[in-house]
A = this chain, B = another copy of it.
Amino acid sequence: METAKRKGSLLSFRPDIKVLDATLRDGGLCNDFQFTDAFARALYETNIAAGVDYMEMGYKASKAMFSPDKFGKFKFCDEEDIQKIVGENKSEMKLAVMADVGRTDFRKDIGDKKNSVIDMVRIACYVNEIPRAIEMIEYCKKRGYETCANVMAVSKAKDEEIDDALEMLGQSPVDVIYLVDSYGSLYPEQIAKLTLRYLEYGKKYNKVIGMHAHNNQQLAFGNTIEAASWGASLLDMTAGGIGRGAGNCSSELLLGFLKNPKFHLTPVLQFITDYLLPMRAQGAVWGYDVPYLLTGRLNMHPSSAIAFLREKRTDYANFYGELQDRD
Contacts and interface: CB of A to CB of B under 8 A. Distances in A.
Interface of A: 2-6, 10, 187-190, 215, 217-223, 225-226, 229, 240, 250, 252-253, 256-257, 265-267, 269-270, 272-273, 277, 288, 290, 293-294, 297, 314-317, 320-321
A250 B187 contact: no
B218 A321 contact: no
Given A218-B222, A253-B218, A189 B320 contact: no
Q: Counting chain B CB atoms within 10 Å of each CB, which of A218, A277, A315 scores highest? A: A218
Contacts of A270: 316-317
Contact of A316 (B215, B221, B223, B272): B272
A4 B126 CA distance: 36
| Total copies of the chain | 2
24 contacts: A2-B6, A6-B189, A10-B190, A188-B188, A188-B222, A189-B229, A217-B221, A217-B253, A217-B257, A218-B250, A218-B253, A221-B222, A222-B222, A222-B223, A252-B293, A253-B293, A256-B297, A269-B317, A269-B320, A270-B316, A272-B290, A273-B314, A273-B316, A273-B317
The 6 A-B residue pairs with the shortest CB-CB distance, nearest first, are A222-B222, A269-B316, A269-B317, A270-B317, A256-B297, A266-B317
Contact of A187 (B2, B225, B290, B321): B225
A187 B273 contact: no
A286 B321 CA distance: 27
